[in-house]
Structure formats: structure tokens, C-alpha cells
């Protein structure tokens, strides 16, 4: 397995093979390819050789990407939409509204659904692979992160008008919303862990929560922009420190502004 890091300023990097191309804000892998979205375009590379295979237009402001079924999905905070593209030609196939300044996108473990954190709309949207809406859940504040749990979802939200703080909500399969955790700093990223726990990234700190909501451990981190669960370990992008590292502190990449990770 190879890890790919999208650095806005320094480029797209394969951590075991060096720079592959220009930087971007979102990256995903699937179909033997790696997709990296920059301003208004997405570049496609071979996951094996790193050869660039093509470029296709995407909306500006792509903040997250995912591969699901036979399509590549891009979430745009500028166009308030999620779009699906053909994985080889880059042809736009479907698009759907996705809230107001949406922030995050994740796919379900079963590989059938996508969940979107709908930003200032204060909602979590659930789509099937054809971007048909199958669920909509209201959450307090601005929805900044979302992840699937063994039963239901977790949503990370920003709350407050002046001093922004973080709230983590659990959403049951029936749509009940329950606050699970609060943090005084603004939210950054969210990641589900095996067994039902999750990692919550806030300005200055990462907090690991057990399935019952109790804190397992805390770690300092300037700006945890993205987590990646590889199965054996969890990696994180610290965008302010310019690093990709493991939770135990082992640095895998030192750059400028890494903002997204994927594995292939």
C-alpha cells in the first residue's frame, strides 16, 4: 500500500516515491488511479507508476474527494455541490446540491453511500452512489466533519458567534441527535476508528474518543487538517507544521501545507 499526500503549495507526493505533480486541496484513490483536485481541475495519475494519465475540469473549491462504485466524487464548497465523474474520461455524470459551503465527504464501510457535512446549512446529507438523497439530518451549528459509525453517524460541528468551539454529535439510524463531546477550540477534522471510536481534530489538539464517548487520549497538533486510517495505523496532516505523521509522532513527510491523504 502507498500513501499519497496533497500539499497545496509543494505538490502531490507519493510518500514512498517523491513528487508526482502540482499541488491540490483534495486527493482520492481508486480504479488503479490517484485523483488530485486543484483550482478548477483534477489531475489523474497511475497509482502504480505515477504517470499522469489526464486532466479534467471540476468545480472550484473542491475540498474533498472519494471513489465509490464506478465513479469519482468531488465536493465543492464554492458551488455547494457534490459531483460524480467518469473515472477514466473525467466526464461529469451527475451533480447534486450539498448544503451551504459544505466541508467534508465520507463513504460508508459497505461502499454504498456517501455522507456530506453540509456546512452552514447545519445538516448531514446522505446519498446513494447515483447521488440520490436517502437521508438528511439537522445538526446544531456548522457541520464541518462527518464519519460513519457501526450504527449511525458522527458529525463534528462549529458552534458560537464570536468564540467558535467544537461539538461532536452522534446521529442514530432513526435520526436522533445526541451531543457526545465538546471542545473549546474550533473544529478541523474527524475520523472513525475500528471498533466504533473516533478521532476529533480541533485547533491545537487531537482527542481520541472511545465508543462510549470517554476520552482515550489527547495529543497536541497545530492544525489537524485530515486523518487517514490505514488499518494498521492512523496518519494525520498537520497543515500548519507542514507534516504528515503517525499518531506516535513518526514523521512521514515534511512539506509546506499538506491538506489531504489517501491510500492505494
pLDDT value, residue 161: 81
pLDDT tens sequence across 151-180 = 899 999 999 988 999 999 999 998 899 999
Q: pLDDT at position 192, please?
A: 95
Question: Do 252 and 246 contact (CB within 8 A), yes or no?
Answer: yes
- The total of other beta-carbon atoms located within 10 Å of residue 4's CB is 26
| pLDDT tens figures, 43-73 | 999 999 999 999 999 999 999 999 999 999 9
Please, which residues bridge with residue 220 across strands?
A: 205
Q: What are phi and psi of 16, to 5 degrees?
A: -105, 15
Q: Which three cell numbers stand for residue 15?
A: 510518500
Q: What average pLDDT does the chain have?
A: 95
pLDDT at 74: 98
Cα distance between residue 75 and residue 244, in whole Å: 23
What pLDDT, on a 0 to 100 scale, did the predictor assign at position 46?
97
CA distance 84 to 131: 8
pLDDT the model gives residue 231: 79
Q: For the chain, what percent of residues have pLDDT higher than 90?
A: 92
Q: What is the pLDDT of residue 232?
A: 80
Domain 1-97+249-264 has CATH 2.60.40.420: no
Cα 147 to Cα 9, 166, 193, distances in angstroms: 27, 16, 10
Question: Given this model, what pLDDT does residue 191 score?
Answer: 96
For the chain, domain boundaries: 1-97+249-264
Burial (CB count <10 Å: 0-12, 13-18, 19+), residue 108? middle
Q: Alpha carbon of 166 to those of 50, 57, 256: distances in Å?
A: 38, 34, 26
Task: Find the mean pLDDT for residues 229-257.
Answer: 94
| Beta carbons within 8 Å of 250's beta carbon, 6+ residues apart | none
**How do beta strands 104-107 and 18-21 pair?**
unpaired
How far apart, in whole angstroms, are the C-alpha atoms of residue 45 and residue 17? 13
Residue 207 to residue 239: CA distance in whole angstroms: 17
Do 133 and 124 touch, CB atoms closer than 8 A?
A: no
Predicted confidence (pLDDT) per residue in 21-36, tens digit: 999 999 999 999 999 9
Q: What is the pLDDT of residues 132-156, one digit of tens each?
A: 999 999 999 999 999 999 989 999 9
Amino acid at each position: 500500500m502507498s500513501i499519497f499526500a496533497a500539499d497545496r503549495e509543494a505538490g502531490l507526493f507519493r510518500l514512498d516515491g517523491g513528487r508526482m505533480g502540482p499541488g491540490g486541496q483534495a486527493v482520492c484513490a481508486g480504479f488503479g488511479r490517484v485523483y488530485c483536485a486543484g483550482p478548477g481541475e483534477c489531475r489523474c495519475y497511475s497509482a502504480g507508476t505515477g504517470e499522469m494519465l489526464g486532466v479534467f475540469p471540476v468545480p472550484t473549491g473542491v475540498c474533498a474527494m472519494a471513489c465509490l462504485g464506478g465513479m469519482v466524487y468531488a465536493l465543492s464548497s464554492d458551488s455547494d455541490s457534490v459531483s460524480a465523474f467518469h473515472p477514466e474520461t473525467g466526464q461529469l455524470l451527475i451533480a447534486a446540491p450539498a448544503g451551504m459551503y459544505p466541508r467534508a465527504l465520507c463513504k460508508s464501510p459497505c461502499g454504498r453511500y456517501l455522507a456530506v457535512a453540509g456546512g452552514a446549512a447545519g445538516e448531514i446529507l446522505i446519498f446513494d452512489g447515483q447521488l440520490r438523497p436517502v437521508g438528511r439530518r439537522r445538526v446544531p451549528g456548522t457541520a464541518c466533519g462527518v464519519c460513519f459509525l457501526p450504527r449511525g453517524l458522527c458529525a463534528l460541528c462549529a458552534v458560537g458567534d464570536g468564540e467558535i468551539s467544537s461539538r461532536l454529535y452522534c446521529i442514530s439510524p432513526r435520526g436522533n441527535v445526541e451531543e457526545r463531546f465538546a471542545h473549546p477550540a474550533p473544529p478541523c477534522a474527524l475520523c472513525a476508528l475500528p471498533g466504533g471510536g473516533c478521532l476529533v481534530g480541533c485547533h491545537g489538539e487531537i482527542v481520541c474518543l472511545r465508543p462510549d464517548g470517554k476520552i482515550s487520549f489527547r495529543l497536541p497538533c497545530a492544525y489537524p487538517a485530515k486523518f487517514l486510517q490505514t488499518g494498521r495505523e492512523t496518519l494525520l496532516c498537520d497543515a500548519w507544521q507542514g507534516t504528515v505523521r503517525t499518531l506516535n509522532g513518526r514523521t512521514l513527510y515534511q512539506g509546506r501545507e499538506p491538506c489531504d491523504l489517501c491510500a492505494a
